[in-house]
Amino acid sequence: MSKPPIYLNLLKIQLPIAGISSITHRVSAVGMFVLLLPFLALLVLAANSEEGFILASYYFEFYLVKVFFNLLVAGLIYHFVSGIRHLIMDLGYWETLMAGRNSAIGTFVLSFIIFILVTLKIW
């Protein structure tokens, strides 16, 4: 019987792709929470008046605003696709190791494809 490790070095632990997908799902939720507030403020500004709409449109001409908006969209897309994956797993499907691995890879690939298509529309 081997001895358990005394300490855990998180940099040396190699998670399976399904674990990385699960952690990325949580990280995308935190990122969306942080990024939604300024963009909701822009939405309220744009909805209040014509001048507010012009000002919000002006902000979206800045490169950094577009980058952060792209990050928000990427988080929304990944969180949605990964959430669908988790719901399917809650129904009892894709519960084997191979199916979990393949569904995690599929989540990353599908999210990336949708993100590229949406990004082309944004820019």
Per-residue pLDDT tens digits for 59-101: 999 999 999 999 999 999 999 999 999 999 999 999 999 999 9
The structural domains of the chain, ordered by start, are 20-122 (1.20.1300.10)
Which two three-digit tokens encode residue 96? 């084997």
pLDDT digits (tens, 9 = 90+) for 5-30: 677 777 788 889 999 999 999 999 99
In this prediction, residue 104 has a pLDDT band, given cuts at 50, 70 and 90, of very high
- Structure letter (DSSP) for residue 71: H
- Structure letter (DSSP) for residue 49: -
Give Cα separations from 57 to 21, 35, 41, 47 (angstroms).
35, 18, 13, 11
pLDDT for position 109? 98
pLDDT digits (tens, 9 = 90+) for 34-53: 999 999 999 999 999 999 99
Phi, psi for residue 94 in degrees, rounded to 5 = 55, 40
pLDDT for position 84? 97
Identity (one letter) of the amino acid at 97? L
pTM of the model: 0.86
Q: Count CB neighbours of 78 within 10 A.
A: 25
